[in-house]
Amino acid sequence: MKGFILMFLGIVHLHEAFGAIHSLMHFYTASSDIPSFPEFMVVEMVDDVQMVHYDSNSQKVVPKQDWMKQTDAGFWESEREKFFHSQQSFKVEVHILMQRFNQSGGVHILQYIYGCSLDNESEQKEGFGQLRYNGENFLEYDMNDLTWKSLKQQADFMQDKWNSDSSRLVFWKIYFTQTCIECLKKQVVNGKSILRRTVPPSVSLLQKTPSSPVTCHATGFYPSGVKVVWIKDGQEHHEDVEYGETLQNDDGTFQKSTHLTVKPEEWKNNKYQCVVQVTGIKEDFIKVLTESEIQTNRGDPAPNFVPIIGGVVALLLVVVVVVVVGVVIWKKRSKKGFIPASTSDSDSENSGKGAQKI
């Protein structure tokens, strides 16, 4: 299980320019033999913000944003039924794939990821669809020839099955070029108070012991686009610097850390600064490396910065676990796409989601 947790910690942010690119993404995740973790989860996101959550433990669809809560109860009940059906299908599929890979047990994860993006400046539209098994690309939808592509021999049977339905393949193209984009535009308008907000970071310099790296920790900022760099005597400094990933906090904001390994006599004889720049905020946030600025846990059994980082790890296991792998792929801006089977009017009008079938 430890290997899977580490794999999921590699989150990257979606937007190269704030407000320029918007995305609507859906993540279906089935797992086996992970203690105290749901066997099935659904997370749906617009931009960096989670809209909907479902898991097999509660078997409830939970709208996560106020603008989503305005949708009528009948729609959410139909979504619950759809997700419950997918839950049963995914559970069966995990066992089928285990047999295909000659696996008798252990931790296994199947992810079904699809969505679309729209560049407001260039009007470029993209669709994305992929099936992943144990963190590896397994099956992808090719928007160019409207077919599924097997990426592993064990996926050939799925490729043949899914490509045999020509009408469904055409529907996926229509969804990506029209339905998904229309739903994305609607969600961006409905959620503009959240999606277009900016929140400045809180920046701290942290160090465990005098010989430990100095960590520049920025947290509480939004959107996720951020640059956290060390400056030495007016120049960007990259030597002995380790850059952490951007992680999401439980309130929807983000955090990021950058670690500098430097001897005390070195930073005392030179001017070191940590500079944080958040997309959409003109102001730079700067901390000068001095002894008085460093927060440390020397002699303090419960340092004030440990709960901040630890809390996010717990959140990742509940939410980001179903998001990170797909986001990393999305970063590559693939032109492959993928869409569910349902074509109901309620799906199109509310969120662009459809019944998930493998």
Decide if 16 is inside a domain: yes
- Indicate whether 208 and 291 sit together in one domain: yes
Q: The CATH number of the domain where 188 resides is what? A: 3.30.500.10
How remote is the C-alpha of 317 from its chain's centroid?
12
Residue 350 binned pLDDT confidence (cut-offs 50, 70, 90): very low
The answer to whether residue 91 scores a pLDDT higher than 60 is yes
The answer to whether residue 341 scores a pLDDT higher than 80 is no
Sheet holding 49-55, edge to edge: 61-63, 49-55, 40-46, 21-32, 108-119, 125-133, 136-142, 147-150
Lowest mean pLDDT among 44-58, 179-193, 291-305: 291-305
- Indicate whether 15 and 117 sit together in one domain: yes
* Side-chain-side CA neighbours of residue 328 (13 Å): 17
The answer to whether residue 129 scores a pLDDT higher than 70 is yes
Lowest mean pLDDT among 17-31, 54-68, 257-271: 17-31
Give the mean pLDDT of 75-93.
91
The answer to whether residue 90 scores a pLDDT higher than 70 is yes
Name which of 231, 187, 152, 196 is nearest 24 in CA terms.
187
- CA distance linking residue 179 with residue 19, whole number of Å: 21
So what's the pLDDT on residue 305? 42
- Indicate whether 252 and 332 sit together in one domain: no
**Greater model confidence, 195 or 276:** 276
Task: Report percent pLDDT > 90 for the chain.
Answer: 40
119: tokens are: 């560049």
- CA distance linking residue 191 with residue 199, whole number of Å: 16
- Indicate whether 329 and 185 sit together in one domain: yes
The answer to whether residue 293 scores a pLDDT higher than 90 is yes
- Indicate whether 211 and 339 sit together in one domain: no
So what's the pLDDT on residue 120? 76
Look up the domain containing 125 and give its range.
Answer: 2-195+320-350
Number of helices (H), then strands (E), belonging to the chain: the values are 11, 18
Decide if 109 is inside a domain: yes
CB 333 within 8 A of CB 17: no
Lowest mean pLDDT among 16-25, 101-110, 160-169, 348-357: 348-357
* H or E element at residue 242: strand 241-243
Give the mean pLDDT of 41-55.
90
Residue 355 binned pLDDT confidence (cut-offs 50, 70, 90): very low
Decide if 268 is inside a domain: yes
90: tokens are: 């995914």
Q: What is the pLDDT of residues 135-168, one digit of tens each?
A: 888 899 888 888 889 998 888 998 998 889 888 8
Q: The CATH number of the domain where 260 resides is what? A: 2.60.40.10
- Indicate whether 126 and 18 sit together in one domain: yes
158: tokens are: 């799925």
- CA distance linking residue 10 with residue 122, whole number of Å: 29
* Strand partners for 22: 118
**Greater model confidence, 222 or 316:** 222
Decide if 358 is inside a domain: no
Q: What is the pLDDT of residues 237-253, one digit of tens each?
A: 999 999 999 998 888 88
- Indicate whether 272 and 180 sit together in one domain: no
- Indicate whether 48 and 24 sit together in one domain: yes
Per-range mean pLDDT, top range of 18-22, 33-37, 150-154, 200-204? 200-204
**Greater model confidence, 146 or 1:** 146
How many domains is the chain partitioned into structurally?
Answer: 2
Decide if 341 is inside a domain: yes
- Indicate whether 165 and 77 sit together in one domain: yes
- Indicate whether 14 and 124 sit together in one domain: yes
Decide if 356 is inside a domain: no
Q: What is the pLDDT of residues 177-227, one digit of tens each?
A: 889 999 999 998 888 888 888 999 999 999 998 889 999 999 999 988 899
Name which of 272, 212, 159, 223 is nearest 18 in CA terms.
223
* H or E element at residue 249: none
- Indicate whether 227 and 332 sit together in one domain: no
| Cα dihedral value 121, 140, 172, 177, nearest 10 | 10
- Indicate whether 40 and 90 sit together in one domain: yes
- CA distance linking residue 327 with residue 344, whole number of Å: 27
